[in-house]
Structure 1
Amino acid sequence: MSPNNNGISNKPENPNEFLAIPKWINEEYFRPIIEKDVMDFVSIKNFTPIAATHPGDNYTSVMVRVFVDIETKDGSEQKLSYILKTMLESDKGGDLIAGMNLFPKEKQMYQVHIPNFVRLYKEAGVDIELAPKCVHIDESPEGITLVLEDLKRQNFENVDRLKGFDMEHMRRVIRKVAELHAASAVTYEQNGPYDEMYYQSMHTESNRKLFEGMGEMRQEQYIKAMREWQLPDVEEYIANLPSPTEFFDKGINLNKVDEDEFNCLNHGDLWCNNIMFSKDRTLLVDLQVGKWGTPAQDLWYMITTSPSLDIKVKEFDHFIQIYHTRLVECLKLLKYSKPIPTLRELHVMMIKYGDWGTITASGVLEVVLMPSDKDSNINMMLAPGPEGDAFRYKVMTNPYYVKAMLQLYPFLRNKGLV
C-alpha cells in the first residue's frame, strides 16, 4: 500500500452510521494481511473501521473502509487504508445473495480472470489496468471476504450517481468496458468456456418464486407511481407492462447465449458507483455479477443507468460507435481470430437483446437514482406490507427516477421494446 495520505482525511467521517460493522473486523484479523502487504511492518498503532459507502450505494455486501496507522522497522509511522468486502448476514439478505454466486464470481475474477486479461495486454506490448489490486481473499464456511486496495488513497473518485456521467466520463468507461470484453473473448478462444456460474444471471429457475413474489409486491406500487409521473399515454404503457411471471421469463431468456454471435464476459453491474476515476485512470470495481454472453448486456445496463440525462438518449448510437471502435482495436491487438462484429451487427444486438434495457430501467435504475436514505437496504426493498409498500412507492416517485423514465419510456417504445 502507498504510505501517502492523499485524499484521506485525518478524521474519517462515517458515511453510514447505521451499518453494524462485524466485530471480527479488527486488528487481529488485519495484522497478517498488513504483514504481507507492507514489507517493513512492525505494529498497528491505530485501527479505525467505518462504512465504505452511503446508504443506498450498495445492497449486496457489507463494505467497510479500514484506516490503519502502523509503525515500521525504522520507527516511522504510515497511514494505510483498505476496503473490506464481505457477505451479508443471513437474516439481512445474505441467504438471497448467497444463492446468486456473487462472491464466488468476484473471488475468481480477482484471482484468475483479471490477472489473465492484464497479462494478455502486457504480452501484446500494452499496459492496461482493469480493476483495483486485491490484497487478500479469505474463504471459510461462513462466507468469502475480500480485502482490496483503497482507491481513494490514489485520488480515485466516483461520479455522483444522481447526476450521471458527462460525455468524457462515458467515453472513458465505454473504452474500458471494450478492453475488458476483448480480453475476455480472447481468453475464451484460448482456454475454452468459463465456469458454469458465468452462464447464469440473477434470473434462474431456483430464484423464480422469490423474484415473482418481489414483482407482485412492486407491481401495484409501480402502476400507482406511473400515474403520478405525468407520462403522456401512460395508460398504454401500463397496459403493456409484463406481469411478474412474464418479466421473470424475459430474464430467463436473456441467459441464453447465441454462440454464433460475438460474446464476452460482461461486468454485469455496470453503473456509476462501480466505476472509479482518477485524473487519467479508469477502473472497474464490484466484479460480482459477471455473465458470459452478448456485450449488449453491459451496454444497455451502463447506458440505462449512468449517463446524465442530457446525453442518455441523445448520444445512444454514438455510445455504441465509441465501444465498437475500441473493441476492434483491442481484438486486433490481442490477435482475436474469429470474425469481429461490425458496427451494424452491434446495433442489431442492441435491439435483439433490448430486454436488458427494459429490465435495467424498471428493476435497477430506480435504486441507482434513489438519494441516500437510511432505509435503503435489501431488507426494506423486499419487506411485505404497508411499510415496504410505502418505501417502494417512495423509490418509484423519486424525482430523479421520474425524470429519467420520462425520457426512457418513449425511447424504448420507439425501439419496440415496451
Structure 2
Amino acid sequence: MSEPRLHPIPLWLTEDYVQKKLRAFLKNDSLKLEKLDIKPAIAKGENYNSVMTRINVEYTTKESKEKLETNFLVKTTFADKDPAAHVLTKYGIYTREMDMYQRILPKMADVVKTEIGDPRRIFAGTVNVDKERDSIIFEDLLLENYKVACRLKKLDLEHTHMVLEKLASFHAAGAVLAERERGIFRENYDRGFYNKYTRGYEPVMKGLLKALSRSLNLDEELRRRYQAKIDRVVDHVMIYGERSTTNNPGDFVTLTHGDLWTTNVMFQYDGKGHPTNAIFIDFQFSVWNSPAIDLHYFFSTSIHDELRLHNQPELVQFYYYKLKDALKKVRYAGPIPSLFDFQLQFRARAFYAVFASLMFEPFMLYDGKEEASLEQMISEGESGIRFKDDLYRQEGARKKLHHTLPYLEQWGLLDDM
C-alpha cells in the first residue's frame, strides 16, 4: 500500500486552547499546562469522515505539584476544500455527532447504567464539544486498554455476541429516551446514507457498483450470472436504498448507530484474551430508524463469513431477546414486536446488506497499493477509477464475491424489487 498521507494538525489547537478546555473539564482553574504534544492519530484514508488528532498533555495543579500526564483525542471535520467535506456536510454528520456526545450519549449511558443495570462504558467520555470549530475532544480509551479489532480478520462469535448485547442496550436506551423526551431526535436524525433530503452519496455508490461490474469481466462465471443484475442495481441503488430505510407503521424504530463496523467498535479484554466490554465510537451517521439497519450493516461488514452466510437468523434472535429484556427493564411503554415480526422487519431492510457488502465492505477491507480515501471514491478521474477498480481486483474481494453474490441473489436482492 502506498505511504499514507497525514492530515495537517489544526492550527487552532494551541496550548492556551487546550489548557482552557482541560480546566473546564477537570473543574480546576489552577491547572497549568506544562507540555503539549500533538500528532495525527491516524493516517489519511484510515478514517473516511473526519480528522483524528491525539494530544499528550503534562500539567500541574495547585493540589498536585507533580506533573500529571494523560492523552486525549481530538476529532475535527475535513477542511472545506476537501472534496469529501462537500458530500458529508449535506448529511449533517458533524453537528449530529457533536450533539450525540454533548447531549444524547450521557443520557443514554445513564439509562444503561441505572436502569438496564450495566455499569460498563458505552462510549468515550466527552471532554469538550466546540461547535464553532466543529471539533470534539474526548478521552483516549487506549489508556484503559480498549482496542479496535482487526478489520481484515473480522469478528468471531464471542466478539459478535458482545457487540449485539451492547447494541441492544444502546437501542433500548434510545427508544425510551425518545419516549420520555418527545422530539429529542426530531432534528437532524433523519439523514442516514439513504434519506429523502440528499443523494450526496449517489455518485459514490454508483461508481463502486460500476467498478464491481467491470471486475466481473475477470471471471466468466460471475460475469455471465451477475453482471447484468449488478448493472440494473446501479440504476436503482438509491430507490432501493431509500425504500429499505423507510419506516412503516408498526415498525419498531429507535436511535441507531448508523455506521456500525469493525473499526467503530473498541473492546476491552480479560487476562485470557476474552472480550469483557465493547464500546461504540463514531456517531456521525446515527439516525432514527429500524435497528435492523445496524444489524445488516454490522453483519455484512464485520463478522466472519461463515457467521454472515449461515448464522444470521440466530444472531438476530440473540439480539432480539437482549433487546426485549432491556426494553422491559427501562419500562418502555411502546409495543415490543414479536420475534417473528422483528425477523420480518429485518428481512424488509435487507437491501442494506447489498449496500454494505457490495459497496462499502470492499472499501473497508482494502489493503492494496492505492490511497484509500473518500476523495478517491468520489473522484471520477483516472486516479479515482484506478482505485475503485483495484478495490474489486484484490484477491480477497474476488474470492468473497463467489459467496456474497449467490447469497444476495437467493434473497432476491439483485432482481427487480
TM-score of the pair, normalised by structure 2: 0.89
- Describe the superposition over 1:140-197 as per-residue Cα deviations: whole angstroms up to 9, x where unpaired: 1xx4111110011110000000110111110100111111111111222223342232
Asked if the contact 1:69–1:77 (Cα under 8 Å) also holds between the matched residues in 2, the reply is yes
Aligned to 1:303: 299
Q: What is the CA-CA distance between 1:215 and the residue it aligns to? A: 4.5
Q: 2:333 aligns with which of 337, 350, 367?
A: 337
Distance 1:372 1:22, change over 3 A: farther
Cα distance between partner residues in 2 of 1:369 and 1:323? 25
The match for 2:53 among 56, 60, 64 is 64
Task: Give 1:207 deviation, angstroms.
Answer: 3.5
Aligned to 1:108: 99
Aligned residue number for residue 139 of structure 1: 131
Partner in structure 2 of residue 21 of structure 1: 9
> Deviation at 1:324?
0.9
Aligned length: 400
Residue aligning to 1:175: 165
| 1:293 counterpart residue number | 289
The corresponding residue for 2:191 is 200
- Within the candidate set 61, 68, 80, 1:90 is matched to 80
**Cα separation, partners in 2 of 1:231 and 1:308, compared to 1, 3 Å:** farther
Q: 1:259 to 1:376 in 2, by over 3 A?
A: same
Q: 1:292 to 1:244 in 2, by over 3 A?
A: same
* Secondary structure, aligned partner of 2:135: strand
**Which of 37, 47, 52 pairs up with 2:41?**
52
Deviation track 1:265-305 (CA, whole Å, cap 9, x = no partner) reads 11000001100011222111101111112111000000000
Shift of 1:133: 0.6
- 117-126 vs 18-27, which moves further: 117-126
Counterpart contact for 1:162–1:400, Cα < 8 Å: no
Look up the match of 2:70. 80
**Alignment partner of 2:24 out of 15, 18, 36:** 36
Corresponding position: 1:278 with 2:268: yes
Partner of 1:256: 246
Distance 1:278 1:231, change over 3 A: farther
1:318 is aligned to 2:310? no
Tell me the amino acid that sits aligned with residue 132 of structure 1. A
Whether contact under 8 Å (2:368, 2:391) holds in the other structure is no
- 1:32 is aligned with what amino acid? K
Query: What is the aligned partner in structure 2 of residue 386 from structure 1?
Result: 382
Report the Cα distance in structure 2 between the residues aligned to 1:192 and 1:51, rounded to whole angstroms: 40
1:36-62 deviation per Cα after TM superposition (whole angstroms, max 9, x unaligned) = 234566332322222222443211111
Q: Does 1:238 align with 2:209?
A: no
Label 1:401 to 1:29 Cα distance change in 2 as closer, same or farther (>3 A). farther
1:76 is paired with a residue of what secondary structure? coil
Structure 1 residue matching 2:58: 3-state secondary structure: strand
Q: Which residue of the partner structure matches residue 272 of structure 2?
A: none
Give the match's secondary structure for 1:65. strand
- Provide TM-score, normalisation by structure 1: 0.89
Q: Which stretch of the first structure deviates more once superposed, 386-395 or 114-123?
A: 114-123
In the superposition, relative to structure 1, how do residues 250 and 195 fare at CA in structure 2: closer, same or farther (>3 Å)?
Answer: same
State the identity as a percent: 23
Asked whether the 8 Å contact 1:354–1:417 carries over to 2, the reply is yes
Change (3 A) 1:138 1:310: same
Q: How far, CA to CA, are the matches of 1:388 and 1:164 in structure 2? A: 27
Shift of residue 76 of structure 1? Answer: 0.9
CA apart distance, 1:26: 2.5
Structure 2: distance between partners of 1:35 and 1:231? 64
Alpha-carbon distance in 1 for matches of 2:209, 2:27? 55
Give how far 1:377 is off. 1.6
C-alpha distance in 1 between matches for 2:206 and 2:258: 25
- How far residue 373 of structure 1 moved from its aligned partner, in angstroms, is 6.1
Structure 2, unaligned runs of 5 or more: 270-275
Q: Give the direction of change, closer, same or farther, for the CA distance of 1:289–1:216 in structure 2 (3 Å limit).
A: closer
RMSD in angstroms over aligned alpha carbons? 2.2
2:351 matched to 1:355?
Answer: yes
Is the CA contact 2:40–2:54 (under 8 Å) kept in the aligned structure 1?
Answer: yes
Pair 1:101–1:253, CA change in 2 (3 A): same
- Aligned 8 A contact 1:200 1:255 in 2: no
Q: Which moved more, 1:26-35 or 1:69-78?
A: 69-78
User: 2 CA distance for matches of 1:284 and 1:219?
Assistant: 29
